[in-house]
Structure 1
Amino acid sequence: MKLKYIVYPLLVLLIAYLVYNKFYGAGAKEKKIEPASRKGGKKPDKTVPVNVMLVKDTAFSNAIDITGTIDANEQVDLRSETAGNITGIYFKEGTHVNKGQLLVKVYNQDQYASLRSVQVQIKLAEIVEYRNRVLLQKEAVSKEEYDTSLSSLNVLKSQADLIRAQIAKTEVRAPFSGIIGLRNISPGGYLSPSSSIATLVNMDPAKITFSVPERYLPLIKTGSKIHFNIESSPQNFVGTVYAIEPNINQTSRTITVRAKSANPKGLLRAGSFAKINLTLEQIPKTIFVPTESVIPDIKSNKVFVVSNGVAEPREVKTDVRTATGIQITDGLKPGDSVIVSGIIQLKPKVPLKIVKIIK
């Protein structure tokens, strides 16, 4: 029983000592004295270190990256206008053919026989017409007789023209110069108007077809330059816009544009995928600032500029955006110092420490 009367007082004394030492000991006094010493010492540095860019006028090319397709300048699936057995094939696959060159001939001996028969009749009709014309001048025949002979001659000539047209339909000729593809026919085979002979393609110049978002429509015009690449060649190609579709696609809200590019070496093939850089406009004099320096607001945008060593907010109007910069159309002038780092710490009238000046 006596032991508890000794232990309990000792525990109370120990706890009291610890409490006293915490609040009234030497360590506590140092902590209380420390703020006082700070009050009398040097004030903390409140300046914000920043990088600054000097505003200047720069030239800018407004361009967009899009995709397109290489198309042939001219392309046609060759077919015959008349049916018949093939009597001759006059081209080699994959070779160049000239406009008007005979490519395929269908059996036409029947038409030639009919033509020779009509030509004989024409010669006889010409003799009759000449004789009646002389007699008419001598008033030996009536005008009606002469008109009948002249009409017969003209009818025969019309028949001859019709047969010649039928003969022309038995010959398939190249409608334009180009490269002819693989043939789908053989000598002696039967050719009908629904049968495909081969494909004729003209690829010089090549056409590039692509679509542009509707909002760029005011900036696109004939004569605009495009630069493009294709997978099958490391060469950079240049083209010129020559036609713009008048209607806007209601599904994609884009407008179709077509350009031409010289293709003397035949490197561009129809159907190829093209990566296109389209120059929309050239701006010779404008202001661009880094994207991170512009602070978007609900109603406007703003930047911070250096004014008498402190930060000054300034509202700006923006236009074109690129991967690294934003065009400023109003609010800045050449010579202004735009803050491009430490934007989060900035407030109006905050003192600044300029670490680096970007020119």
Structure 2
Amino acid sequence: MKTFVRLIIVILVLAVVLGGIFGWKYVQQQQSEAQRAQAPPSTPVETVRIQPQSWRAALTSVGSLRAINGVEVANEVPGVVSQVAFESGQRVSQGDVLIRLEDSVDRAALAALEARARLANETFQRYADLLPRNAISQSQYDEARANYQAAQADVEQQRAQLAKKTIRAPFEGVVGLRQVDLGEYLSVGTSIVDLNMLDPIHVDYSVPERQLERVAPGRAVEVRVAAYPDRLFTGETLAVAPSVNASSRTLDVRARLDNADHALRPGMFADVSTLAPETREVLTLPRTALSFNTYGDFVFQVVEDDQGQTIASRQQVTTGSVRGDEIEILDGLEAGDRVVATGLLRLRDGQPVSVTEQAQGRDSADKTRTVRDEKVEG
């Protein structure tokens, strides 16, 4: 009898426990269904409107800056440095003296040759007076004239040799770092200093052969260098190589840039944009507003559903050229459409959103501006 009572008590306890568990699960299920029945909370997003802009197409490339005239000044004759007439980094004019070599021996030799030339000239003049009177023969007169001319040639040769002892600037420009010292003996061809003409300056770059029609003399170019990331240098193309490089299938182009403040230096690496002569109207968005993947590019367009609720609708788009942080939209959107500007990873198609703020500077659908360095994909 006692065993039966205990069994009944155990069964009742188990029934109470299981009933409590099932009851709690039922309450949780009801709460979950109630939550799912409620509308999901809206996600705050920042939006931007797609708008037309005037883009000026440009062919981008990389190049190197070089001086219009740039040489390593060296001596033609050996000698000891007797004077250094410039300072490193100094601006010089054409013909300015850079250094002088010791020239006392050459000056003495020139004086001796000039004396011989004067004597030969006097002899020649005397024979010229005697020839009409038949006091000398024609051969003697010719010999005196030849001696005088030879003496004059020796003088000119020595003067040229002496002039080489003074090294002058071959053109106007800026000298680099001095490589020689006072009293130093220089053999022929010793590097003295670099001299570069910095204003204007050239930039050499290459373009693919298929882009030949996009480059021509007189086209405007824009150049950026790492030393001045916020500065844009402008110029124009000067010449296009007449032949294509057979190994790289590229075409060499040279452009000239204004460089009055000498900010650009030879050897600098440059990003070069060759601008097209015409502009075109395009629709653009910030690159942050697009999601790029192998299945196609898309944006989240902000629209209203049938109930009037603001949602993020996934929209497939076709993109075009890229200019900095801006990208061209070829298909999928129209001017004035509003899309989510940032934070695409937290959104899904049809998710309710609340617009908290528009991206600054792009809140007008009809705003236009000129973009001058669009990248043309090769």
After TM superposition, the score normalised by the length of structure 2 is: 0.60
Q: How does 1:87-102 map to 2 (within 5 A)?
A: 87-102=82-97
Partner Cα distance (1:115, 1:136) in 2: 31
Matched, 1:170 2:169: no
Distance 1:290-1:184 versus aligned 2 partners, 3 A rule = closer
Deviation at 1:151, TM superposition (A): 0.7
Residue 259 of structure 1 aligns to a residue in which SS?
Answer: strand
**Which among 217, 232, 238 is matched to residue 236 of structure 1?**
232
- The root-mean-square deviation of aligned C-alpha atoms, in Å, is 2.7
Q: How many percent identity over aligned positions?
A: 27
Gaps of 5+ in 1: 1-52, 293-319, 327-337, 342-357
Aligned to 1:209: 204
Partner Cα distance (2:128, 2:246) in 1: 70
Deviation at 1:118, TM superposition (A): 1.1
Residue 276 of structure 2 aligns to a residue in which SS?
Answer: strand
Aligned to 1:219: 214
Partner Cα distance (1:145, 1:101) in 2: 46
Matched, 1:194 2:189: yes
Deviation at 1:115, TM superposition (A): 1.0
Deviation digits for residues 211-265 of structure 1 (CA, Å, limit 9, x no counterpart) = 1111111221100001122222232110100011222223322111110011111
Partner Cα distance (2:282, 2:89) in 1: 53
Q: Which moved more, 1:151-160 or 1:163-172?
A: 163-172
Deviation digits for residues 86-118 of structure 1 (CA, Å, limit 9, x no counterpart) = 111111111011111111111222221111111
The question of whether the paired residues in 1 share the 8 Å contact of 2:59 and 2:214 is answered with: no
**Which among 255, 260, 264 is matched to residue 268 of structure 1?**
264
Partner Cα distance (1:256, 1:167) in 2: 43
Aligned to 1:128: 123
Deviation at 1:321, TM superposition (A): 5.1
Q: How does 1:264-303 map to 2 (within 5 A)?
A: 264-282=260-278
Q: How does 1:1-359 map to 2 (within 5 A)?
A: 61-233=56-228, 234-282=230-278, 322-323=321-322, 324-325=328-329, 340=333
Deviation at 1:68, TM superposition (A): 1.8
Deviation at 1:180, TM superposition (A): 0.6
Residue 236 of structure 2 aligns to a residue in which SS?
Answer: strand
Partner Cα distance (2:329, 2:275) in 1: 17
Deviation digits for residues 40-77 of structure 1 (CA, Å, limit 9, x no counterpart) = xxxxxxxxxxxxx9xx9x97633122222221121111
What amino acid maps onto 1:229 in structure 2?
Answer: R
Deviation digits for residues 261-319 of structure 1 (CA, Å, limit 9, x no counterpart) = 111111111122222221134267xx868999xxxxxxxxxxxxxxxxxxxxxxxxxxx
Residue 197 of structure 1 aligns to a residue in which SS?
Answer: strand
The question of whether the paired residues in 1 share the 8 Å contact of 2:65 and 2:204 is answered with: yes
What amino acid maps onto 1:270 in structure 2?
Answer: P
The question of whether the paired residues in 1 share the 8 Å contact of 2:54 and 2:282 is answered with: no
Partner Cα distance (2:284, 2:261) in 1: 43
Q: Which moved more, 1:174-183 or 1:226-235?
A: 226-235
What amino acid maps onto 2:56 in structure 1?
Answer: S
Partner Cα distance (1:238, 1:290) in 2: 25
Partner Cα distance (1:220, 1:191) in 2: 47
Partner Cα distance (2:66, 2:135) in 1: 70
Q: How many residues align?
A: 248
Partner Cα distance (1:95, 1:173) in 2: 14
What amino acid maps onto 2:193 in structure 1?
Answer: A
Gaps of 5+ in 2: 1-49, 291-318, 323-327, 335-364, 367-378
The question of whether the paired residues in 1 share the 8 Å contact of 2:65 and 2:203 is answered with: yes
Distance 1:261-1:289 versus aligned 2 partners, 3 A rule = closer
What amino acid maps onto 2:164 in structure 1?
Answer: K
The question of whether the paired residues in 2 share the 8 Å contact of 1:78 and 1:196 is answered with: yes
